Amino acid sequence: MNYWISILFRIIPLAMGAVCLALGLYVRAGGGDANHFVAGHVLISLTAICIALFTTAAMIIRQLTHTFSRTWMIVLPIIGYGVALTTAAWGLLIVQQGSVPSFVAGHVVFGVGLIAACVSTVATASSAFTLIPRNAHGRAEDGTPCEAYSAAVGAGLICIPVAATLLGAVWAAMLLRQEAHTPDFVAGHVLMGISAICASLISLVSTVVRQVRNQFGEAERWLWTLWVLLMGAATFGWGLDVLFGSDRPERIAPGCILLGLGMVCFSIVSKVWLLALTWRRECALANRIPLIPVLTCLACLFFSTFLAEAAMADPGFFVPARVLAGLGAVCFTLFSIVSILEAGTSGKG
């Protein structure tokens, strides 16, 4: 991988994190009402996902540029998990404030912390990334490379996004049991969409772990990709149902945000699909797959623009307009990760 390109791909997640942080601080300081409070805190929390994606980018790039050491294998996961746990704890503290805006914002921020933990697990699983192209050019009969982490470690890594998904989904279901109350309705739907992203990351972590250990089977080539597509389609469809299934005024924010979370799931598809397509076969169109997160990023940003205009007539569109901009930044960060994976699996690293 070209040195300057590797720098660019590491700058992108940090730059997008800075955008989320700066926009979040600006929105939060722009007014003392509930909309500014919720949108500001959620945007700030999205910085955690960008930092976790940075650790993933750095973990893989340092291996491709032969500048990787055991120190980075320890430091990068500590950064990722540290930010994820801090964000989740911050969300719980916000919930404890007791107001309606803090109830909604706190649950969403906690959920973002769960996503960041799952992304950090992708980074940790990628600590032996260079084994993936090597195994892809070998045979299943070659067995697990001696440099790969153990089966117990691999299973432990997969369990992290599974646990995050279950925690988020169960908590969301508990909130939705009280959906007659506006805060529970909003927080429950958004937290369930966040759980779908965590579920999508199960596929990515599993794919990386099983390819590193040379255990990736032919059936898995499509199974994991279809799972992420299902999560994205379900989240997107649920968002449409929330938006058009009732006339509750508070449906606007969760409905629109669910559409944006669906876009993030579709961005994750590109990573899982790329690893599947390049496993023990040539794929001439692999270098086009990074366009998927670019398209989802643009979709989020254009949608955010329309919502911002609509917010001038209906303040219910204020929060999703700002949050969709942050989700667009997350999608663009995923573009850099997919591009790195494409470079590594195609032999251009």
- pLDDT at position 103, please? 96
Among 44, 42, 38, residue whose Cα is nearest residue 18: 44
C-alpha span between 52 and 49 (Å, rounded): 5
Query: What pLDDT tens digit does each residue of the chain (349 aa) get?
Result: 678 888 999 999 999 999 999 999 999 998 889 999 999 999 999 999 999 999 999 999 999 988 888 899 999 999 999 999 999 999 999 999 989 999 999 999 999 999 999 999 999 999 999 999 899 888 888 889 989 999 999 999 999 999 999 999 999 999 999 988 999 999 999 999 999 999 999 999 999 999 999 999 888 888 999 999 999 999 999 999 999 998 889 999 999 999 999 999 999 999 999 998 888 777 667 778 889 999 999 999 999 999 999 999 999 999 999 999 999 999 999 999 998 888 877 655 5
Among 165, 203, 164, 171, residue whose Cα is nearest residue 188: 171
Q: Under 8 Å CB-to-CB from 136, ≥6 apart: which residues?
A: 211, 278, 279, 280, 345
Among 150, 268, 285, 280, residue whose Cα is nearest residue 221: 280
Let me know how long the chain is.
Answer: 349
- pLDDT at position 27, please? 95
What does each C-alpha distance from 271 to 131, 222, 250, 331, 341 come to in angstroms?
A: 17, 13, 34, 12, 7
